[in-house]
Amino acid sequence: MRLLNIGFGNAVNSDRIVAVVSPEAAPVKRVVQTAKDSGTAIDATCGRKTRSVIICDSGHIVLSALRPESLVGKAEDKTEES
């Protein structure tokens, strides 16, 4: 299990990530709202603006204040280390 730092002391198991997307698109907004309504959304923004949405294979949606580019860069760095 490799943990990916998603900001503010929060981490996600990088093996379970399906996609990291920007929250501006209407379909992503609908996915986030559906997850919030069903209780599968995890808000890890610590009150800041949501800049990326992490979709996990378990059906959970994680909201992060870091940009998708930053998260992908961190994930690639972790892959190179192992």
Domain residue ranges of the chain, discontinuous segments joined by +: 3-81
Coil vs helix vs strand at 26: helix
Close Cβ partners of 22 (under 8 Å, ≥ 6 residues apart):
28, 51, 52, 53, 68
Query: What sign results for the dihedral spanned by CA atoms 54, 60, 61, 65?
Result: negative
Query: What sign results for the dihedral spanned by CA atoms 60, 63, 64, 67?
Result: positive
CB 75 within 8 A of CB 17: yes
pLDDT in tens, 14-68: 999 999 999 999 999 999 999 999 999 999 999 999 999 999 999 999 999 999 9
